[in-house]
Structure 1
């Protein structure tokens, strides 16, 4: 096991690069609201209209709109640059959040809530913007890029762990609209700080004849893996809330889920520092498929919410390595002038998977039992592994009969792929 000093040295080298601390600070400020908006909208709408069904439908509409608009916004970013596109897109998103707030506050018809929240779909893929900067800065250093991608995944987990907690505190302590208002302010301030760091911004790429990321070799299987992985996340969240409610501890569901995110965050940071060799996406997905059975076993065998919390902490440790390895493959297989679009497509797959997983987990919790419903995230993880195995999503190709394959990634590079992103 490496020492603390050796574990953190890779991250210190990352942030010794000029401008990286400033753009990371802005990106984290802008990313934190991503974990706030959903909870804030539900509390705000349900408190005003007395309907969780309406609140859920509104947030689902925003999720679907984001999935559709995300790749289009990312394509504009690739073509015109981050600052020129991300700032006006963020302003449009902030206006959508404020419009939702005003519609709720002043009792506007229900349809206006859907229209207003759909406006937030213009929000850029904030994590993707940051990963694109690292890919540009570290294009000649795959090891450092692996560490940077691990940090970004840990930052995702941290923001989605702290965001709901902050939103709940603001809406409960001040007024129902406080979470949405604070989230909009943080998003705009963070994006302005992030895009002000022009020295680290990747140069815009003129429109070329490069094929769509969806037509790049190896991307469709990865998209399928991301969708199945999203189903793990969506179903686990709904099932855990249902299980905690059945145990009479619904208010503890957020803290229990935060432990899953904490496990992923810690594993992501460690994974980035260790730079494991010979690790493929299939290995990570196999680990996730095994660990996602732990919550099911804990709920079924013990019936204890606290044992379940420990199982979720351990199960979460499989998430970050899987996402880091998969996203690195995406970066290396996507045409350089459509990098943001390629990463945004993966986010679209995740969102679609989360929506499907939430629906499946909710159905199982209602019609079977919350304990049995933990089979849904375990099945989704197994599905992701099956897709990767059948499609060779990690880049392996079956060798010809009587021959050995010459298409395997280099054994010393955990995320090696057929080509590297050019400058």
Structure 2
């Protein structure tokens, strides 16, 4: 049996660029061997993956997301439930406005108790009380109780803790000393806010329309309580309580830089409230009122995407300077819906303009919350962010009323002047107050 021809040895030479194997057998060709590719598993994780390498962060984020989703459900559910049984949108709007006003009054006190006694000790009973208020509202509507009972029940829901503020307080505690990671965390939380307020109304409308009018409220209560219990169960990530926070008589309204920030939040709230009402009025005037939800959803989607992108980009310069640029960009982009509505009257162009305008919302809110955290005394972070949210709620209520009145008595197109003007006011306040936002040691309690 013939023996196989022995293969000639291979000579390896190293060059500057690659490793080349030269086979001395003349019947074969020279073939390059490229450098081995680095293992993809050795690459450093991205900014958002790095956030969740800390133990407990995924669990508290999941619980907070479940509990925060109903915040976008309760308003729509209450309107559908009350208007469907009582036949009055005016009554439904008045009841939900009462709950909003009560929340603006009660939320800062609830936040102060959370800072003083801890999230688990305060948030659970406060959430249960709010859940009972929602269930009582449901029963009163079903039982055809007097109208005043609806107002009382809705006011009882004001004890709902500021879920976004508590989550941001945990990130601030876990990432203290790392401003880059904290910026990413704040961007993530803002994207979660936009996601909840984008999906919440859609989910509520689906449940109320598919099953029964009270289904949205009932599902919201279950999600709120379940999510809150999961959130507070993660004790390892909870910021420590500071009993001095609740005993101090000094108001955060006196902290340097806080009043103008709250004024900006009030103006920003007017932007959001007016934009929502005017967009609904504009779509209704064009005979496509049902399209308003999708158009507002595009605005929220743009803000959500921009928030995630903003958190992944490395930031340069102090937050106060970025805040000015963000508000200026938002003011400029908000003119696009006004131009689209006035010049063309096209719902498609208006939807695209709202998508672009929404992209400036999240970066502005993220930077504003960063400034609030910087200017809030240590140990009262949750209270400071709750005050900012309260300012937003007050602005939303005022913007809704003003935008709706202008859209009704003038035109829906003219109503878009309200968010543009409110954004311009926010920019002027920020320009006049930027000197007070220089980073300095937090004021003493």
Alignment of 1:333 onto 2:375: yes
Which residue in the other structure is 2:339 paired with? 297
User: 3-state SS of the aligned residue for 1:144?
Assistant: helix
RMSD: 1.7
Following superposition, the deviation at residue 382 of structure 1 comes to 0.5
Is it true that 1:267 corresponds to 2:309 in the alignment?
no
Whether the aligned pair in 2 keeps the contact of 1:26 and 1:192 (CA below 8 Å) is: yes
Q: Tell me the equivalent position of 1:408.
A: none
Match of 1:91 in 2: 128
Aligned-partner Cα distance in 2 for 1:198–1:72: 22
Structure having the higher Rg: 2
Instruction: Point out the more displaced range, 81-90 or 274-283.
Output: 274-283
Question: Which of 333, 347, 352 is matched with 2:394 structurally?
Answer: 352
Map of 1:368 onto structure 2: 410
SS in 1 for 2:437: coil
* SS at 2:66 equivalent: helix
Residues 7 and 274, structure 1, Cα contact 8 Å, conserved in 2? no
Alpha-carbon separation, structure 2, partners of 1:275 and 1:40: 40
- Within the candidate set 412, 419, 423, 2:441 is matched to 419
Q: 1:207 Cα shift?
A: 1.4
In structure 2, what is the equivalent of residue 3 of structure 1? Answer: none
> What TM-score do the two structures reach when normalised by structure 2?
0.87
Match of 1:257 in 2: 296
Identify the residue that residue 228 of structure 1 maps to in structure 2: 267
Pairing partner for 1:171 from 208, 211, 216: 208
- CA apart distance, 1:124: 0.1
CA distance in 2, matches of 1:7, 1:212: 44
Deviation at 1:334, TM superposition (A): 0.5
Return the alpha-carbon distance in structure 1 between the equivalents of residues 153 and 270 of structure 2. 27
Deviation of 1:275 after TM superposition, in Å, equals 2.5
**Tell me, what secondary structure is at the counterpart of 1:248?**
coil
Q: How does 1:74-153 map to 2 (within 5 A)?
A: 74-153=111-190
Would the aligned equivalents of 1:264 and 1:318 in 2 still touch at CA under 8 Å? yes
What displacement does 1:393 show?
Answer: 6.6
In the alignment, structure 1 residue 10 sits paired with structure 2 residue 31:
no
Where 1:58 maps in the other structure, the secondary structure is helix
CA contact (8 A) 1:210 1:335 kept: no
Aligned residues: 398
Q: Which one of 169, 183, 190 corresponds to residue 227 of structure 2?
A: 190
Deviation readout 1:32-80 (Å, 9 max, x if unpaired):
0000000000000000000000000000000000000000000000000
Looking at structure 1, the residues matched to 344 and 365 of structure 2 have their Cα atoms a distance apart, in angstroms, of 30
CA distance in 2, matches of 1:110, 1:90: 24
| Partner residue, 2:359 | 317
TM-score, length-normalised on structure 1? Answer: 0.92
| Cα gap change, 1:302 to 1:394, in 2 (>3 Å) | farther
Instruction: Provide the rounded CA distance (Å) in 1 between the counterparts of 2:109 and 2:243.
Output: 16
For the pair 1:378 / 2:417, whether they are aligned, the reply is no
